[in-house]
């Protein structure tokens, strides 16, 4: 069964909230932490939406569980800076929520989110894209980083 990446992002947020509730003494508060939270979450949303728009403009699938159905390799817009802007957007949102809550579990939950997305989503997607687009994807992969 394939779990959509946004579900992992939501699970990360829920885990942050639970960690903050279960271990409130393992949190820090600082002035402006909710502003930082909002800015990171908005940045994450903007990056993810921009990435999705690139897929729609190229008229290719945005479904992460069907990378073999990609009809175009999107390399412009935010894809010039990261091969995975939608996942980067989710990571920014998870980070923002963690900072907003002040939980010291944030780096561990973020690391788990990144590991899960890398192993369960990105690596299989890259294999499919390499099969579909060959040298074009290999060249793109060589010039643009996976995350940042």
Do 5 and 89 touch, CB atoms closer than 8 A?
A: no
Q: Supply the Cα-derived Rg of the chain in whole angstroms.
A: 17
Q: Which residue carries 């980067």 as its tokens?
A: 88
Do 137 and 129 touch, CB atoms closer than 8 A?
A: yes
Quick one: tokens of 134?
């060959």
- pLDDT tens-digit profile of 91-115? 999 999 999 999 999 999 999 999 9
Query: Is residue 1 scored above 70 in pLDDT?
Result: no
pTM above 0.85, yes or no: yes
> Which residues on neighbouring strands pair with residue 27, listed in sequence order?
103
Q: What local confidence, expressed as pLDDT, does residue 107 receive?
A: 98
Q: What local confidence, expressed as pLDDT, does residue 104 receive?
A: 97
């Amino acid at each position: 069964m394939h779990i959509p990446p946004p579900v992992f992002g939501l699970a990360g947020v829920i885990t942050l909230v639970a960690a903050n509730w279960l271990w409130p003494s393992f949190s820090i508060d600082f002035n402006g932490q909710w502003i930082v939270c909002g800015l990171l979450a908005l940045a994450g949303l903007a990056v993810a939406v921009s990435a999705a728009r690139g897929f729609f403009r190229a008229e290719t699938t945005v479904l992460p569980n069907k990378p073999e159905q990609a009809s175009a390799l999107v390399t412009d817009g935010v894809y010039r800076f990261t091969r995975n802007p939608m996942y980067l957007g989710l990571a920014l949102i998870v980070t923002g929520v963690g900072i907003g809550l002040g939980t010291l579990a944030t780096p561990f939950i973020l690391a788990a989110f990144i590991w899960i997305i890398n192993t369960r989503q990105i690596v299989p997607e890259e294999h499919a894209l390499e099969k579909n687009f060959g040298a074009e994807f290999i060249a793109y992969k060589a010039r643009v980083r996976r995350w940042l």
